[in-house]
C-alpha cells in the first residue's frame, strides 16, 4: 500500500529522498535532466515571489518510491499550474504515477487552478511510456519542442565566423549584465519581457501575457541572487536607447559545468537585423569567459520556431530529446 504525502522541503532527509527518486526516474535521459543535489537543496527551500511549490512523496513503508511536484505561478496565469511525476524505475506500472498526478490535480484545483500543464520527454521524434502515461491521464499535447545541447568546444570552434555575421547588427549596442538589470534600462527591459508570452510560440498552451513592473523584476532578480543562480544577460539597445532584444544563459554556482538558455526575445519592431544571433553570441561569449569549468549548455524551443532553430543550429546546438508540452483542463 503506497501513501501519497505532502513533504516539507525544509525537512532535508525528505527532500533528499524526493530528489533521489527524481534522479533515478530520469537517469536514462540524455543531457542534464536533473539538477545536482546542492542545487535542488538550495532552490527548493528558498521562497520565490514568482512560483509556489508543492512536493509530494509516494511512500511504501519507510521508502519513497514516487515523487510529485506542483508549481503554481503567483504573479500571472493564476488559472494554471504545472504537475510533474517521477516513479522509481523498479516501481512503475503500479499506479503510483497516476496517484501522484491525481493528488497534484486535487491540490491545484483547491487553489483555483483550472488548467494543468506537464511535460513528457522522449527520444528525438519518438514516442514512448511518458506519452502513453500522459494520454492515459487525459492530457493533450499542446506543443512539441526540441531539447538541444551544445558542447562549448563546438561553439568556440564556430565562434569567429558567427561573430562576423552577428556584426551586421551594427546600429545596435549590446549591453550585458549578471542577473541585475542596470537601473537606466529597467523599464524598457520590463516592456520587452511583457511581450514574452505573446511572442514565443506556445502552441495550444493556455498562457497569457503579464506585466513586468520594475518591482517585480527586482524581486525576481533577488531570488536568483539568493540561490546563487546567475542569469547572464545580453540586451540589444536600439539607437533611441530602448531595449530591442534580450537573451540569457543561466549558470548555477553549485554546478558551473553546465548552462541553460533562459529567454530569447527580439521586439517585432526590431527583427531582421540578426539580433537573435548577436545576442546569443554575446551570452555564449560571456559564459565561456566567466565559467572556465563550463562544458555544455542546453535549450529548448518549439519545433515550429524555425527562426530560433536556425540560430541555435548555427551556434552548434544538437537535438537530444523531444519535449511534449502537455495540458489538461480540469
Ligand atoms: C511516466 C511515469 C511517471 C509513469 O509512472 P507509473 O507509476 O509507471 O504510471 P502508472 O502506473 O500510474 O500508469 C498509469 C497509466 O499510464 C499508462 N502508462 C504508464 N507508463 C506506461 C508505459 N511505459 N507504456 C505504456 N503505457 C504507460 C498506462 O495506461 C498506465 O495504466 P495501466 O498500467 O493500468 O495500463 C514514470 O514512468 C516515470 O517516472 N518516468 C520518468 C519521469 C517522467 O517521464 N515523468 C513524466 C513527466 S513529468
For the chain, what is the domain count? 2
Q: How many CA atoms within 13 Å lie on the side-chain side of 202?
A: 14
Does residue 22 have its Cβ closer than 6 Å to ligand 1?
no
> Is 30 inside any structural domain?
yes
Q: Measure 25 CA to ligand 1 centroid, in angstroms.
A: 11
User: Is 60 touching ligand 1 by the criterion CB < 6 Å?
Assistant: no
CB 244 within 8 A of CB 267: yes
Instruction: Based on the fold, state whether residues 152 and 290 are members of the same structural domain.
Output: yes
Give the β-pairing of 63-73 and 51-60. Answer: antiparallel
Distance CA 276, CA 266 (A): 7
Q: Is the CB of 67 under 6 A from ligand 1?
A: no
Query: Atom 44, ligand 1: which residue's CA is nearest?
Result: 130
307, 163: one domain: yes
Q: Specify if 140 maps to a domain.
A: no
In order, the DSSP letters of 78-93 are TTEEEEEEEE-GGGTT
Co-location of 164 and 92 in the same domain: no
Whether residue 328 lies inside any domain: the answer is no
Nearest CA to ligand 1 atom 1: 130
In this structure, the residue with its CA closest to atom 28 of ligand 1 is: 133
Cell numbers representing residue 205 in the block: 498552451
Do 171 and 238 lie in a common domain?
yes
State whether 222 and 107 are in the same domain.
no
Domain stop point among 61, 91, 113: 113
**One domain, residues 270 and 158:** yes
Distance 92 CA to ligand 1 centre (A): 6
Rounded CA-CA distance 133/20 in Å is 21
- Average pLDDT value for the chain: 95
* pLDDT at site 120: 97
- Tell me which residue range forms the domain holding 52: 2-113
- Say whether pLDDT at 128 is over 90: no
pTM of the model: 0.94
Task: Please indicate whether residue 25, judged by its CB atom, sits closer than 6 Å to ligand 1.
Answer: yes
> So what's the pLDDT on residue 168?
66
The Cα 40–Cα 297 span in angstroms is 18
> What's the rounded mean pLDDT across residues 294-306?
94
Q: Give me the half-sphere count of Cα atoms (radius 13 Å) on the Cβ side of residue 104.
A: 33
What integer is the mean pLDDT of 214-219? 96
Q: Clarify whether residues 96 and 199 are in a common domain.
A: no
Distance of CA 215 from the midpoint of ligand 1 (Å): 42
* Residue 118 CB less than 6 A away from ligand 1: yes
Assess if residue 306 is contained within a domain: yes
Torsion of the alpha carbons at 306, 312, 317 and 321, rounded to the nearest 10 = -40
Residues 97 and 166 in one domain: no
For residues 35 and 100, membership in a common domain is answered with yes
Query: Does residue 130 lie in a domain region?
Result: no
**Largest CA-CA distance found in the chain, in angstroms, rounded:** 65
> What's the CATH number where 285 sits?
3.40.630.30
Please check whether residue 143 lies inside any domain of the structure: no
- Tell me the CA–centroid distance for residue 74 and ligand 1, in Å: 29
* Mean pLDDT across 290-315: 94
User: Is 15 contained in some domain?
Assistant: yes
Residue 120 alpha carbon to ligand 1 centre in Å: 11
User: Does one domain contain both 34 and 182?
Assistant: no
pLDDT tier at 225, thresholds 50, 70, 90: very high
Assess if residue 243 is contained within a domain.
yes
The Å distance, Cα 85 to ligand 1 centre, comes to 9
Report pLDDT digits (tens) over 34-93.
999 999 999 999 999 999 999 999 999 999 999 999 999 999 999 999 999 999 999 999
Residue 285 clears pLDDT 90, i.e. is over it: yes
Ligand 1: does its nearest atom lie under 6 Å from the Cβ of 27? no
Identify the helix (H) or strand (E) that includes residue 157: helix 152-166
256 has pLDDT over 90: yes
Cβ of 87 closer than 6 Å to ligand 1, yes or no, is yes
Same domain, 200 and 284: yes
Mean per-residue pLDDT for 223-246? 97
Mutation to probe ligand 1, out of 25, 34, 69, 129 (largest number of atoms < 8 A from CB): 129
Tell me the backbone φ, ψ of residue 207, rounded to 5 degrees. -125, 145
Please tell me whether residues 247 and 168 are part of one structural domain: yes
Q: By percentage, how much of the chain surpasses pLDDT 70? A: 99
Question: pLDDT digit string (tens) for 140-179?
Answer: 999 999 999 999 999 999 999 988 777 767 899 999 999 9
**Boundary residue ending a domain (113, 137, 157):** 113
Distance, in Å, from the CA atom of 243 to the CA atom of 239, rounded to the nearest integer, reads 10
Amino acid at each position: 500500500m503506497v501513501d501519497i504525502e505532502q513533504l516539507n522541503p525544509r525537512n532535508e532527509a525528505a527532500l533528499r529522498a524526493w530528489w533521489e527518486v527524481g534522479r533515478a526516474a530520469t537517469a536514462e535521459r540524455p543531457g542534464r535532466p536533473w539538477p545536482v543535489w546542492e542545487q535542488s537543496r538550495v532552490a527548493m527551500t528558498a521562497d520565490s515571489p514568482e512560483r509556489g511549490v508543492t512536493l509530494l512523496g509516494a511512500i511504501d513503508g519507510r521508502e519513497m518510491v514516487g515523487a510529485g511536484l506542483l508549481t503554481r505561478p503567483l504573479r500571472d496565469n493564476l488559472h494554471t499550474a504545472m504537475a510533474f511525476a517521477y516513479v522509481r524505475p523498479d516501481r512503475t506500472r503500479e499506479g503510483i504515477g497516476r496517484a501522484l498526478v491525481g493528488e497534484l490535480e486535487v491540490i491545484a484545483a483547491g487553489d483555483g487552478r483550472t488548467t494543468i500543464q506537464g511535460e513528457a520527454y522522449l527520444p528525438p521524434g519518438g514516442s514512448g511510456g511518458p506519452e502513453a502515461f500522459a494520454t492515459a491521464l487525459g492530457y493533450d499535447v499542446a506543443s512539441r519542442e526540441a531539447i538541444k545541447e551544445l558542447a562549448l568546444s563546438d561553439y568556440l570552434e564556430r565562434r569567429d565566423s558567427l561573430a562576423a555575421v552577428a556584426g551586421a547588427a551594427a546600429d545596435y549596442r549590446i549591453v550585458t549584465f549578471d542577473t541585475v538589470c542596470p537601473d537606466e534600462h529597467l523599464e524598457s527591459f520590463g516592456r520587452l519581457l511583457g511581450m514574452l508570452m505573446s511572442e514565443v510560440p506556445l502552441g495550444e498552451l493556455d498562457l497569457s501575457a503579464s506585466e513586468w513592473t520594475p518591482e517585480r523584476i527586482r524581486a525576481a532578480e533577488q531570488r536568483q541572487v539568493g540561490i546563487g543562480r546567475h542569469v547572464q544577460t545580453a540586451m540589444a539597445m536600439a539607437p533611441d536607447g530602448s531595449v530591442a532584444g534580450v537573451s540569457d544563459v543561466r549558470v548555477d554556482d553549485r554546478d558551473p559545468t553546465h548552462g541553460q538558455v533562459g529567454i530569447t526575445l527580439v521586439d517585432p519592431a526590431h527583427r531582421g537585423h540578426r539580433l537573435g544571433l548577436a545576442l546569443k553570441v554575446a551570452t555564449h561569449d560571456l559564459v565561456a569567459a566567466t565559467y572556465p569549468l563550463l562544458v555544455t549548455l542546453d535549450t529548448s524551443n518549439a519545433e515550429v520556431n524555425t527562426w530560433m532553430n536556425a540560430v541555435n543550429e548555427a551556434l552548434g546546438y544538437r537535438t537530444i530529446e523531444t519535449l511534449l508540452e502537455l495540458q489538461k483542463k480540469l
